[in-house]
């Protein structure tokens, strides 16, 4: 079975700029749960863009599901939750409507949702603990509940890889803890590969298998228990 993600000696610079990443070797196997952390401006967002094939490495190779990341043919198997996903000023979409859109986004459907797809969407809503809010307008929910709804939308696409980019921004500490527990359950029950990208990882420190710290390159890659002491300082975890 090929690795889900593999970066081989990857360096990256934006045109005319200094190196953002240098000599990065990074691999994620199917079923891994990995937190990618580091200071803002340290390169973690660029690393993620290279992993997802949105940027081409200046040198080295970036593979996604065994293909060159920029030409990956398995896009429908990736669910990407962008920073602080929100409905914003959109029409008053309900939780169920938002999650059902995840079936359409999976690229496997044309036309209206079939009964089986509605069942998958409903199952995803139950999984994230929002069954009693399925008919609620998304904008009436708290930030933490909105985030759960977007995770349910991602799950509805039945992804092999779930990528969360700064998922705890603007969410209170209790919701961060509950999000960590939810991700741990999803990882255990579904076996989905998870990349959790954040400048803080306090909430998931006890549920991830690996923490990767990025500061111009990878400065640490290992179990959370092996982290240098400074990264356990709570002031590093909560912005």
Torsion sign, CA atoms 175, 179, 181, 182: positive
233 or 134, which is more confident: 134
**pLDDT range class, residue 231, cuts 50, 70, 90:** low
For residue 229, what are the contacts with CB-CB under 8 A and spacing of at least 6? Answer: none
Strand partners, 80: 163
Check residues 89 and 21 and name the one with the higher pLDDT: 21
pLDDT at position 102, please? 85
Mean pLDDT of 51-70: 95
Element housing 25 (H / E) = strand 19-28
CA 200 – CA 227 distance, rounded (Å): 14
18 DSSP 8-state letter:
P
Q: Which of 66-70, 107-111, 193-197 has the lowest mean pLDDT?
A: 107-111
Name the helix (H) or strand (E) containing 98: helix 95-105
User: Given a cut of 90, is residue 161 above it in pLDDT?
Assistant: yes
Q: Which residue has the higher pLDDT, 151 or 113?
A: 151
- State the average pLDDT over residues 87-116: 71
d(CA 194, CA 180): 12
Give the mean model confidence (pLDDT) for residues 144-162: 90
* pLDDT tops 80 at residue 4: yes
pLDDT band at 34; cut points 50, 70, 90? very high
Alpha-carbon distance of 121 to 153, in angstroms, equals 7
In 3D, which of 26, 32, 2 has the Cα closest to residue 193? 32
Residue intervals of the chain classified under CATH 3.40.50.300 are: 1-74+160-239
Burial of residue 195 (CB within 10 Å: 0-12, 13-18, 19+) is buried
pLDDT surpasses 60 at 235: no
Mean of per-residue pLDDT scores for the chain: 85
The topology under which CATH files domain 1-74+160-239 is: Rossmann fold (3.40.50)
- Indicate the SS3 state at residue 113: coil
- Judging by beta carbons within 10 Å of its beta carbon (0-12, 13-18, 19+), is residue 209 exposed, middle or buried? middle
4-13, 15-24, 37-46, 102-111: which range is least confident on average?
Answer: 102-111
Digit-coded pLDDT (tens) for 168-189: 777 788 888 888 899 999 999 8
Q: Which pLDDT value is given to residue 1?
A: 59
- Stronger pLDDT, 86 or 23, i.e. the higher one: 23
pTM: 0.86
Of residues 112 and 21, more confidence is placed in 21
């Amino acid at each position: 079975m090929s690795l889900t993600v593999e970066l081989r000696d990857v360096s990256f610079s934006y045109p005319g700029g200094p190196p953002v990443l240098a000599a990065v070797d990074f691999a994620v196997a199917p079923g891994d749960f990995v937190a990618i952390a580091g200071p803002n401006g340290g390169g973690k967002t660029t690393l993620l863009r290279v992993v997802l094939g949105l940027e081409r490495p200046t040198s080295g190779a970036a593979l996604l599901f065994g293909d060159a990341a920029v030409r990956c043919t398995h896009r429908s198997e990736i669910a990407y939750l962008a920073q602080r996903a929100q409905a914003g000023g959109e029409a008053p979409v309900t939780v169920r409507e938002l999650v059902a859109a995840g079936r359409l986004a999976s690229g496997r459907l044309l036309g209206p949702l079939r009964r089986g797809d509605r069942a998958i969407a409903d199952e995803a809503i139950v999984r994230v603990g929002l069954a009693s809010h399925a008919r609620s307008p998304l904008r009436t929910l708290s930030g933490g509940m909105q985030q759960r709804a977007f995770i349910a939308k991602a799950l509805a696409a039945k992804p092999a890889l779930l990528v969360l980019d700064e998922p705890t921004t603007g969410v209170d500490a209790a919701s961060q803890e509950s999000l960590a527990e939810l991700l741990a359950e999803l990882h255990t029950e579904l076996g989905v590969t998870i990349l959790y990208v954040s400048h803080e990882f306090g909430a998931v420190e006890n549920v991830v298998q690996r923490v990767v710290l990025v500061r111009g390159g990878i400065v640490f890659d290992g179990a959370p228990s092996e982290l240098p002491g400074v990264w356990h300082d709570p002031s590093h975890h909560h912005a």
